[in-house]
Amino acid sequence: MRRTIRFAFVAILTGMAALAGVGAQDQPATYIRAGKLLDVRSGKILSDQVIVIRGERVESTGAASATTIPAGATVVDLSNAMVLPGLIDAHTHIFLTGEDNGRYDEQLLKESWQYRTIEAVVNAKRDLEAGFTSMRDCETEGAMYSDADVRNAINRGLIPGPRLEVATRAISTTGGYPLEGYSPEVTVPSGVQIVDGPVEARKAVREQIKYGADFIKIYSTHKSHFTPDGKLFSQPTLTLEETRAIVDEAHREGVKVACHAYGGPGLQNCLDAGADSLEHGLDMTDAQVRELVQKGMWYVPTLYVYEGDTRKEDEAATGGKFSRASVHEISFKKALAANAKIVFGTDVGPFPHGTQAIEFEYLTKFGMTPLAAIQAATIHAAELMGWADREGAIEPGKYADIIAVEGNPLDDIKQLEHVKFVMKGGIVVRNDFAKP
Ligand SMILES: [Zn+2]
Protein backbone atom coordinates (compact mmCIF):
# COMPACT_ATOMS: atom_id res chain seq x y z
CA MET A 1 0.00 0.00 0.00
CA ARG A 2 2.67 2.44 1.10
CA ARG A 3 4.58 1.67 -2.06
CA THR A 4 1.61 2.49 -4.31
CA ILE A 5 1.18 5.88 -2.64
CA ARG A 6 4.89 6.61 -2.97
CA PHE A 7 4.89 5.82 -6.68
CA ALA A 8 1.81 7.95 -7.19
CA PHE A 9 3.50 10.87 -5.42
CA VAL A 10 6.65 10.54 -7.53
CA ALA A 11 4.50 10.37 -10.65
CA ILE A 12 2.73 13.62 -9.68
CA LEU A 13 6.07 15.39 -9.08
CA THR A 14 7.46 14.13 -12.39
CA GLY A 15 4.32 15.29 -14.15
CA MET A 16 4.53 18.73 -12.53
CA ALA A 17 8.18 19.09 -13.60
CA ALA A 18 7.26 18.13 -17.16
CA LEU A 19 4.40 20.67 -17.24
CA ALA A 20 6.66 23.40 -15.90
CA GLY A 21 9.22 22.52 -18.59
CA VAL A 22 12.00 22.13 -16.01
CA GLY A 23 14.95 20.40 -17.60
CA ALA A 24 18.66 20.21 -16.81
CA GLN A 25 19.40 22.86 -19.45
CA ASP A 26 17.32 25.39 -17.49
CA GLN A 27 19.20 24.92 -14.27
CA PRO A 28 21.97 27.39 -13.41
CA ALA A 29 25.48 26.13 -13.99
CA THR A 30 28.19 25.82 -11.37
CA TYR A 31 31.78 26.37 -12.45
CA ILE A 32 34.65 24.66 -10.66
CA ARG A 33 38.06 26.22 -11.19
CA ALA A 34 40.48 23.32 -10.84
CA GLY A 35 44.13 24.28 -10.40
CA LYS A 36 45.04 20.67 -11.14
CA LEU A 37 42.71 18.01 -12.47
CA LEU A 38 43.63 14.32 -12.45
CA ASP A 39 42.42 12.41 -15.50
CA VAL A 40 41.97 9.01 -13.87
CA ARG A 41 41.99 7.16 -17.17
CA SER A 42 45.37 8.39 -18.40
CA GLY A 43 46.98 9.51 -15.16
CA LYS A 44 47.64 12.90 -16.76
CA ILE A 45 47.40 15.97 -14.57
CA LEU A 46 45.83 18.90 -16.37
CA SER A 47 46.44 22.45 -15.13
CA ASP A 48 44.00 25.35 -14.92
CA GLN A 49 40.81 23.61 -15.89
CA VAL A 50 37.16 24.57 -15.53
CA ILE A 51 34.47 21.97 -14.87
CA VAL A 52 30.99 23.11 -15.86
CA ILE A 53 28.21 21.46 -13.88
CA ARG A 54 24.55 21.76 -14.69
CA GLY A 55 22.03 20.20 -12.35
CA GLU A 56 23.56 17.04 -10.95
CA ARG A 57 25.80 16.29 -13.93
CA VAL A 58 29.02 17.42 -15.54
CA GLU A 59 28.33 19.39 -18.72
CA SER A 60 31.90 19.93 -19.87
CA THR A 61 35.51 20.18 -18.81
CA GLY A 62 38.20 22.22 -20.49
CA ALA A 63 41.07 24.68 -20.18
CA ALA A 64 40.22 27.83 -18.22
CA SER A 65 41.60 29.88 -21.12
CA ALA A 66 38.97 28.38 -23.41
CA THR A 67 36.00 28.70 -21.02
CA THR A 68 33.92 31.80 -20.43
CA ILE A 69 32.44 32.06 -16.98
CA PRO A 70 29.41 34.38 -17.09
CA ALA A 71 29.30 37.27 -14.62
CA GLY A 72 27.44 36.37 -11.44
CA ALA A 73 27.79 32.62 -12.00
CA THR A 74 28.38 30.26 -9.08
CA VAL A 75 32.09 29.54 -9.00
CA VAL A 76 33.84 27.05 -6.72
CA ASP A 77 37.44 28.03 -6.42
CA LEU A 78 39.69 24.98 -6.27
CA SER A 79 42.56 26.73 -8.02
CA ASN A 80 44.94 25.66 -5.23
CA ALA A 81 43.76 22.07 -5.19
CA MET A 82 44.06 18.73 -6.96
CA VAL A 83 40.65 17.71 -8.24
CA LEU A 84 39.60 14.13 -8.98
CA PRO A 85 36.42 12.07 -9.25
CA GLY A 86 34.53 11.03 -6.12
CA LEU A 87 35.89 7.83 -4.60
CA ILE A 88 33.97 4.56 -4.59
CA ASP A 89 34.26 2.04 -1.76
CA ALA A 90 32.94 -1.27 -3.09
CA HIS A 91 32.84 -3.05 0.28
CA THR A 92 31.34 -1.23 3.25
CA HIS A 93 29.13 -1.96 6.26
CA ILE A 94 27.26 1.17 7.31
CA PHE A 95 25.34 -0.93 9.86
CA LEU A 96 28.52 -1.81 11.75
CA THR A 97 30.07 0.48 14.30
CA GLY A 98 33.06 -1.47 15.61
CA GLU A 99 33.25 -5.19 16.25
CA ASP A 100 35.61 -5.48 19.21
CA ASN A 101 34.79 -6.38 22.82
CA GLY A 102 31.43 -7.91 22.06
CA ARG A 103 30.25 -4.86 20.14
CA TYR A 104 28.93 -7.00 17.27
CA ASP A 105 26.72 -9.07 19.59
CA GLU A 106 25.61 -5.94 21.42
CA GLN A 107 24.46 -4.33 18.19
CA LEU A 108 22.36 -7.35 17.26
CA LEU A 109 21.03 -8.11 20.75
CA LYS A 110 20.51 -4.69 22.30
CA GLU A 111 19.92 -2.24 19.47
CA SER A 112 16.67 -2.03 17.53
CA TRP A 113 16.76 -1.89 13.75
CA GLN A 114 15.57 1.70 14.09
CA TYR A 115 18.51 2.68 16.31
CA ARG A 116 20.92 0.84 14.02
CA THR A 117 19.50 2.70 11.04
CA ILE A 118 20.26 6.00 12.79
CA GLU A 119 23.83 4.79 13.28
CA ALA A 120 23.97 3.78 9.60
CA VAL A 121 22.80 7.24 8.53
CA VAL A 122 25.60 8.83 10.58
CA ASN A 123 28.15 6.36 9.18
CA ALA A 124 27.07 6.99 5.59
CA LYS A 125 27.45 10.75 6.13
CA ARG A 126 30.97 10.27 7.52
CA ASP A 127 31.94 8.17 4.50
CA LEU A 128 30.59 10.79 2.11
CA GLU A 129 32.43 13.60 3.89
CA ALA A 130 35.65 11.57 3.57
CA GLY A 131 35.24 11.61 -0.23
CA PHE A 132 33.32 8.39 -0.89
CA THR A 133 30.50 9.49 -3.15
CA SER A 134 29.42 5.91 -3.95
CA MET A 135 29.53 2.68 -2.00
CA ARG A 136 28.50 -0.92 -2.36
CA ASP A 137 27.23 -1.75 1.11
CA CYS A 138 27.77 -5.44 1.76
CA GLU A 139 24.89 -6.35 4.10
CA THR A 140 23.20 -5.02 7.24
CA GLU A 141 24.48 -7.61 9.74
CA GLY A 142 21.09 -8.44 11.15
CA ALA A 143 19.30 -5.15 10.48
CA MET A 144 17.25 -6.82 7.75
CA TYR A 145 16.30 -4.53 4.85
CA SER A 146 17.09 -1.24 6.58
CA ASP A 147 19.92 -0.53 4.10
CA ALA A 148 17.37 -0.27 1.29
CA ASP A 149 15.63 2.47 3.32
CA VAL A 150 18.89 4.35 3.86
CA ARG A 151 19.61 4.11 0.14
CA ASN A 152 16.14 5.36 -0.75
CA ALA A 153 16.30 8.24 1.74
CA ILE A 154 19.65 9.32 0.27
CA ASN A 155 18.30 9.07 -3.28
CA ARG A 156 15.28 11.20 -2.34
CA GLY A 157 17.49 13.86 -0.77
CA LEU A 158 16.18 13.32 2.76
CA ILE A 159 19.63 12.68 4.20
CA PRO A 160 23.19 13.13 2.95
CA GLY A 161 25.11 10.03 1.93
CA PRO A 162 26.90 8.28 -0.90
CA ARG A 163 25.04 6.66 -3.79
CA LEU A 164 24.47 3.16 -2.47
CA GLU A 165 24.08 -0.28 -3.87
CA VAL A 166 22.88 -2.50 -1.05
CA ALA A 167 22.97 -6.24 -0.41
CA THR A 168 20.28 -6.32 2.31
CA ARG A 169 20.64 -9.46 4.47
CA ALA A 170 23.35 -11.63 2.83
CA ILE A 171 23.23 -15.42 2.85
CA SER A 172 25.00 -18.23 4.69
CA THR A 173 24.19 -21.68 6.07
CA THR A 174 23.27 -23.06 9.49
CA GLY A 175 26.41 -22.72 11.60
CA GLY A 176 27.89 -20.40 9.01
CA TYR A 177 27.54 -16.99 10.65
CA PRO A 178 27.19 -15.19 14.03
CA LEU A 179 25.55 -14.81 16.45
CA GLU A 180 27.19 -17.84 17.95
CA GLY A 181 28.19 -19.23 21.32
CA TYR A 182 24.74 -19.01 22.91
CA SER A 183 22.81 -21.88 24.45
CA PRO A 184 20.67 -23.88 22.00
CA GLU A 185 17.78 -23.04 24.35
CA VAL A 186 18.07 -19.34 23.50
CA THR A 187 16.93 -17.98 20.17
CA VAL A 188 19.29 -15.22 19.03
CA PRO A 189 19.22 -13.13 15.86
CA SER A 190 21.49 -13.95 12.93
CA GLY A 191 23.77 -11.58 11.07
CA VAL A 192 22.57 -13.08 7.79
CA GLN A 193 19.70 -15.00 6.23
CA ILE A 194 20.37 -18.69 6.83
CA VAL A 195 19.59 -21.19 4.07
CA ASP A 196 20.10 -24.92 3.75
CA GLY A 197 19.66 -26.54 0.38
CA PRO A 198 19.34 -25.07 -3.11
CA VAL A 199 15.60 -24.43 -2.82
CA GLU A 200 15.96 -22.26 0.27
CA ALA A 201 18.99 -20.59 -1.30
CA ARG A 202 17.06 -19.62 -4.42
CA LYS A 203 14.11 -18.44 -2.35
CA ALA A 204 16.35 -16.21 -0.23
CA VAL A 205 17.67 -14.52 -3.39
CA ARG A 206 14.11 -13.91 -4.55
CA GLU A 207 13.10 -12.45 -1.19
CA GLN A 208 16.12 -10.19 -0.98
CA ILE A 209 15.63 -8.82 -4.48
CA LYS A 210 11.93 -8.37 -3.75
CA TYR A 211 12.73 -6.21 -0.72
CA GLY A 212 15.35 -4.07 -2.40
CA ALA A 213 18.69 -5.86 -2.81
CA ASP A 214 20.81 -4.37 -5.62
CA PHE A 215 23.15 -7.35 -5.42
CA ILE A 216 23.43 -10.57 -3.45
CA LYS A 217 26.17 -11.13 -0.88
CA ILE A 218 27.06 -14.66 0.14
CA TYR A 219 29.37 -15.93 2.84
CA SER A 220 31.11 -18.85 1.26
CA THR A 221 33.54 -19.38 4.12
CA HIS A 222 33.07 -18.77 7.82
CA LYS A 223 35.54 -19.43 10.64
CA SER A 224 39.22 -19.74 9.91
CA HIS A 225 42.30 -20.86 11.79
CA PHE A 226 45.87 -21.85 11.07
CA THR A 227 46.82 -25.53 11.12
CA PRO A 228 50.13 -26.38 12.85
CA ASP A 229 51.90 -26.46 9.47
CA GLY A 230 50.79 -22.90 8.70
CA LYS A 231 47.85 -23.49 6.36
CA LEU A 232 44.84 -21.23 6.71
CA PHE A 233 41.78 -23.45 7.11
CA SER A 234 38.57 -21.64 6.12
CA GLN A 235 35.34 -23.42 7.00
CA PRO A 236 33.20 -23.73 3.87
CA THR A 237 29.49 -22.91 4.21
CA LEU A 238 27.30 -23.19 1.09
CA THR A 239 27.77 -26.26 -1.12
CA LEU A 240 28.51 -25.86 -4.81
CA GLU A 241 24.91 -26.84 -5.54
CA GLU A 242 23.60 -24.10 -3.20
CA THR A 243 26.02 -21.54 -4.58
CA ARG A 244 25.01 -22.39 -8.14
CA ALA A 245 21.33 -21.93 -7.22
CA ILE A 246 22.08 -18.49 -5.77
CA VAL A 247 24.19 -17.31 -8.70
CA ASP A 248 21.73 -18.68 -11.23
CA GLU A 249 18.74 -17.00 -9.57
CA ALA A 250 20.54 -13.68 -9.10
CA HIS A 251 21.77 -13.61 -12.70
CA ARG A 252 18.34 -14.63 -13.95
CA GLU A 253 17.03 -11.50 -12.22
CA GLY A 254 19.90 -9.32 -13.52
CA VAL A 255 21.69 -9.00 -10.20
CA LYS A 256 25.36 -9.64 -9.36
CA VAL A 257 26.70 -11.91 -6.62
CA ALA A 258 29.47 -10.84 -4.26
CA CYS A 259 31.24 -13.76 -2.64
CA HIS A 260 32.94 -13.44 0.72
CA ALA A 261 35.59 -16.16 0.82
CA TYR A 262 38.99 -16.57 2.45
CA GLY A 263 40.20 -19.69 0.66
CA GLY A 264 39.82 -23.44 0.17
CA PRO A 265 36.71 -25.18 -1.20
CA GLY A 266 34.40 -22.31 -0.19
CA LEU A 267 36.35 -19.92 -2.42
CA GLN A 268 36.51 -22.53 -5.17
CA ASN A 269 32.70 -22.84 -5.14
CA CYS A 270 32.40 -19.14 -5.94
CA LEU A 271 34.77 -19.50 -8.88
CA ASP A 272 32.99 -22.62 -10.14
CA ALA A 273 29.51 -21.16 -9.73
CA GLY A 274 30.45 -17.96 -11.59
CA ALA A 275 29.98 -15.38 -8.81
CA ASP A 276 30.80 -11.85 -9.97
CA SER A 277 33.18 -10.61 -7.32
CA LEU A 278 35.47 -12.20 -4.79
CA GLU A 279 35.58 -10.34 -1.47
CA HIS A 280 38.76 -10.65 0.65
CA GLY A 281 40.26 -13.74 -1.09
CA LEU A 282 42.90 -14.10 1.60
CA ASP A 283 44.41 -17.38 0.55
CA MET A 284 44.24 -18.13 -3.16
CA THR A 285 46.21 -20.91 -4.81
CA ASP A 286 47.98 -20.14 -8.10
CA ALA A 287 45.28 -22.12 -9.93
CA GLN A 288 42.54 -20.09 -8.23
CA VAL A 289 44.22 -16.83 -9.21
CA ARG A 290 44.40 -18.08 -12.81
CA GLU A 291 40.72 -19.01 -12.75
CA LEU A 292 39.76 -15.65 -11.21
CA VAL A 293 41.55 -13.83 -14.04
CA GLN A 294 40.34 -16.15 -16.78
CA LYS A 295 36.71 -15.75 -15.66
CA GLY A 296 37.05 -11.99 -15.38
CA MET A 297 35.83 -12.04 -11.79
CA TRP A 298 36.31 -8.84 -9.81
CA TYR A 299 38.61 -8.99 -6.80
CA VAL A 300 37.91 -6.74 -3.81
CA PRO A 301 40.79 -7.52 -1.45
CA THR A 302 40.05 -5.31 1.63
CA LEU A 303 43.65 -5.38 2.87
CA TYR A 304 43.71 -2.91 5.76
CA VAL A 305 41.01 -4.59 7.87
CA TYR A 306 43.30 -7.61 8.36
CA GLU A 307 46.25 -5.50 9.45
CA GLY A 308 46.79 -3.81 12.78
CA ASP A 309 45.18 -5.57 15.71
CA THR A 310 44.11 -8.56 13.62
CA ARG A 311 47.67 -9.24 12.46
CA LYS A 312 48.88 -8.99 16.06
CA GLU A 313 46.12 -11.31 17.35
CA ASP A 314 46.85 -13.90 14.68
CA GLU A 315 50.58 -13.76 15.27
CA ALA A 316 50.04 -14.15 19.01
CA ALA A 317 47.84 -17.22 18.36
CA THR A 318 50.40 -18.82 16.03
CA GLY A 319 53.49 -17.88 18.02
CA GLY A 320 54.30 -15.07 15.61
CA LYS A 321 54.46 -17.41 12.62
CA PHE A 322 51.32 -16.79 10.60
CA SER A 323 48.62 -14.20 10.22
CA ARG A 324 45.69 -13.69 7.91
CA ALA A 325 47.32 -10.41 6.89
CA SER A 326 50.53 -12.17 5.81
CA VAL A 327 48.80 -14.82 3.66
CA HIS A 328 46.53 -12.11 2.27
CA GLU A 329 49.52 -10.07 1.18
CA ILE A 330 50.85 -13.05 -0.79
CA SER A 331 47.49 -13.69 -2.50
CA PHE A 332 47.03 -10.02 -3.32
CA LYS A 333 50.48 -9.80 -4.89
CA LYS A 334 49.78 -12.91 -6.99
CA ALA A 335 46.47 -11.47 -8.19
CA LEU A 336 48.11 -8.14 -8.99
CA ALA A 337 50.90 -9.83 -10.96
CA ALA A 338 48.29 -11.85 -12.88
CA ASN A 339 46.42 -8.67 -13.85
CA ALA A 340 43.26 -9.48 -11.90
CA LYS A 341 40.48 -6.88 -12.02
CA ILE A 342 41.10 -5.32 -8.61
CA VAL A 343 38.50 -3.00 -7.11
CA PHE A 344 38.89 -0.79 -4.06
CA GLY A 345 36.89 -2.01 -1.06
CA THR A 346 37.61 -1.66 2.63
CA ASP A 347 35.13 -3.57 4.82
CA VAL A 348 34.79 -0.34 6.85
CA GLY A 349 32.49 -0.76 9.84
CA PRO A 350 34.69 -2.90 12.09
CA PHE A 351 36.95 0.19 12.01
CA PRO A 352 35.64 3.78 11.99
CA HIS A 353 33.64 5.10 9.06
CA GLY A 354 35.30 7.94 7.19
CA THR A 355 38.82 6.54 7.77
CA GLN A 356 38.81 3.88 5.06
CA ALA A 357 41.04 5.75 2.60
CA ILE A 358 43.91 4.19 4.58
CA GLU A 359 43.30 1.16 2.29
CA PHE A 360 45.17 3.09 -0.45
CA GLU A 361 48.35 2.89 1.65
CA TYR A 362 48.19 -0.91 1.72
CA LEU A 363 47.28 -1.32 -1.96
CA THR A 364 50.33 0.73 -2.92
CA LYS A 365 52.60 -0.74 -0.23
CA PHE A 366 51.87 -4.20 -1.66
CA GLY A 367 52.66 -3.18 -5.23
CA MET A 368 49.87 -1.24 -6.92
CA THR A 369 50.85 2.06 -8.48
CA PRO A 370 49.04 5.05 -6.95
CA LEU A 371 47.23 5.57 -10.28
CA ALA A 372 46.08 1.92 -10.39
CA ALA A 373 44.83 2.20 -6.81
CA ILE A 374 42.88 5.36 -7.69
CA GLN A 375 41.48 3.66 -10.81
CA ALA A 376 40.39 0.74 -8.59
CA ALA A 377 38.41 3.26 -6.51
CA THR A 378 36.95 5.14 -9.47
CA ILE A 379 36.57 3.76 -13.01
CA HIS A 380 36.97 0.09 -12.07
CA ALA A 381 34.66 0.25 -9.04
CA ALA A 382 32.08 2.00 -11.24
CA GLU A 383 32.29 -0.92 -13.69
CA LEU A 384 31.79 -3.49 -10.94
CA MET A 385 28.72 -1.61 -9.76
CA GLY A 386 27.34 -1.41 -13.29
CA TRP A 387 27.51 2.38 -13.04
CA ALA A 388 30.33 3.11 -15.49
CA ASP A 389 27.88 5.19 -17.53
CA ARG A 390 27.27 7.61 -14.66
CA GLU A 391 30.33 7.82 -12.38
CA GLY A 392 33.99 7.01 -11.87
CA ALA A 393 35.37 9.89 -13.95
CA ILE A 394 34.79 13.62 -14.41
CA GLU A 395 33.28 13.53 -17.87
CA PRO A 396 30.32 15.15 -19.67
CA GLY A 397 27.06 13.40 -18.81
CA LYS A 398 28.33 11.78 -15.62
CA TYR A 399 27.25 12.79 -12.12
CA ALA A 400 29.20 15.72 -10.75
CA ASP A 401 30.75 13.57 -8.02
CA ILE A 402 33.98 15.40 -7.40
CA ILE A 403 36.57 15.60 -4.64
CA ALA A 404 39.68 17.67 -4.07
CA VAL A 405 42.82 17.32 -2.02
CA GLU A 406 45.76 19.64 -1.40
CA GLY A 407 48.64 17.74 -2.99
CA ASN A 408 49.24 15.17 -5.70
CA PRO A 409 48.02 11.70 -4.67
CA LEU A 410 50.21 10.13 -7.39
CA ASP A 411 53.21 11.33 -5.34
CA ASP A 412 51.64 10.95 -1.91
CA ILE A 413 48.71 8.53 -1.70
CA LYS A 414 47.96 9.66 1.88
CA GLN A 415 46.51 12.84 0.36
CA LEU A 416 43.33 10.80 -0.12
CA GLU A 417 43.06 10.41 3.66
CA HIS A 418 42.64 14.19 3.86
CA VAL A 419 39.93 15.00 1.36
CA LYS A 420 39.05 18.68 1.72
CA PHE A 421 36.31 19.14 -0.84
CA VAL A 422 33.40 16.85 -1.70
CA MET A 423 30.64 17.44 -4.22
CA LYS A 424 27.98 14.85 -4.91
CA GLY A 425 25.59 15.28 -7.80
CA GLY A 426 26.50 18.96 -8.15
CA ILE A 427 25.89 19.75 -4.47
CA VAL A 428 28.82 20.78 -2.28
CA VAL A 429 28.98 18.50 0.75
CA ARG A 430 32.23 19.85 2.15
CA ASN A 431 34.64 22.62 1.21
CA ASP A 432 37.56 23.17 3.56
CA PHE A 433 39.26 25.26 0.89
CA ALA A 434 36.60 27.94 1.34
CA LYS A 435 37.29 28.18 5.08
CA PRO A 436 39.36 31.17 6.20
ZN1 LIG B 1 32.50 -7.28 4.79
pLDDT one-digit tens code per residue, 211-221: 999 999 999 99
> Shortest CA distance to 282 belongs to which of 317, 321, 232, 240?
232
Task: Compute, in angstroms, the gap from residue 405 CA to the centroid of ligand 1.
Answer: 28
Q: Which domain holds residue 271?
A: 87-384
The confidence score (pLDDT) of residue 22 equals 54
pLDDT in tens, 353-404: 999 999 999 999 999 999 999 999 999 999 999 999 999 999 999 999 999 9
- Say if residue 177 is in the same domain as residue 311: yes
Task: Compute, in angstroms, the gap from residue 432 CA to the centroid of ligand 1.
Answer: 31
The confidence score (pLDDT) of residue 17 equals 44
Task: Compute, in angstroms, the gap from residue 87 CA to the centroid of ligand 1.
Answer: 18
Task: Compute, in angstroms, the gap from residue 47 CA to the centroid of ligand 1.
Answer: 38
Q: Is the pLDDT of residue 429 over 90?
A: yes
- Say if residue 100 is in the same domain as residue 113: yes
On whether residue 9 sits in a domain, the answer given is: no
On whether residue 12 sits in a domain, the answer given is: no
Task: Compute, in angstroms, the gap from residue 324 CA to the centroid of ligand 1.
Answer: 15
On whether residue 275 sits in a domain, the answer given is: yes
- Say if residue 231 is in the same domain as residue 304: yes
Task: Compute, in angstroms, the gap from residue 259 CA to the centroid of ligand 1.
Answer: 10
Task: Compute, in angstroms, the gap from residue 347 CA to the centroid of ligand 1.
Answer: 5
- Say if residue 136 is in the same domain as residue 205: yes
- Say if residue 67 is in the same domain as residue 189: no
Task: Compute, in angstroms, the gap from residue 403 CA to the centroid of ligand 1.
Answer: 25
- Say if residue 144 is in the same domain as residue 275: yes
Task: Compute, in angstroms, the gap from residue 174 CA to the centroid of ligand 1.
Answer: 19
pLDDT band per the 50, 70, 90 thresholds, residue 23: low
On whether residue 11 sits in a domain, the answer given is: no
- Say if residue 245 is in the same domain as residue 134: yes
- Say if residue 253 is in the same domain as residue 400: no
On whether residue 367 sits in a domain, the answer given is: yes
- Say if residue 323 is in the same domain as residue 292: yes
Q: Give me the CATH number covering residue 55.
A: 2.30.40.10
The confidence score (pLDDT) of residue 2 equals 45
Task: Compute, in angstroms, the gap from residue 286 CA to the centroid of ligand 1.
Answer: 24
pLDDT band per the 50, 70, 90 thresholds, residue 314: confident
On whether residue 389 sits in a domain, the answer given is: no
Q: Is the pLDDT of residue 14 over 70?
A: no
Task: Compute, in angstroms, the gap from residue 103 CA to the centroid of ligand 1.
Answer: 16
Task: Compute, in angstroms, the gap from residue 216 CA to the centroid of ligand 1.
Answer: 13
Q: Is the pLDDT of residue 284 over 80?
A: yes
pLDDT in tens, 159-204: 999 999 999 999 999 999 999 999 999 999 999 999 999 999 999 9
Number of independent structural domains in the chain: 2
Q: Give me the CATH number covering residue 250.
A: 3.20.20.140
- Say if residue 417 is in the same domain as residue 316: no
Task: Compute, in angstroms, the gap from residue 192 CA to the centroid of ligand 1.
Answer: 12
Q: What is the distance, to the nearest Å, from the Cα of residue 119 to the centroid of all Cα atoms in its chain?
A: 18
Task: Compute, in angstroms, the gap from residue 138 CA to the centroid of ligand 1.
Answer: 6
- Say if residue 207 is in the same domain as residue 246: yes
On whether residue 217 sits in a domain, the answer given is: yes
Task: Compute, in angstroms, the gap from residue 292 CA to the centroid of ligand 1.
Answer: 19
- Say if residue 302 is in the same domain as residue 426: no
Buried b (16+ CB within 10 A) or exposed e, 106-143: ebbeebeeeebbebbbbbbbbbbbbbbbbbbbbbbbbb
On whether residue 14 sits in a domain, the answer given is: no
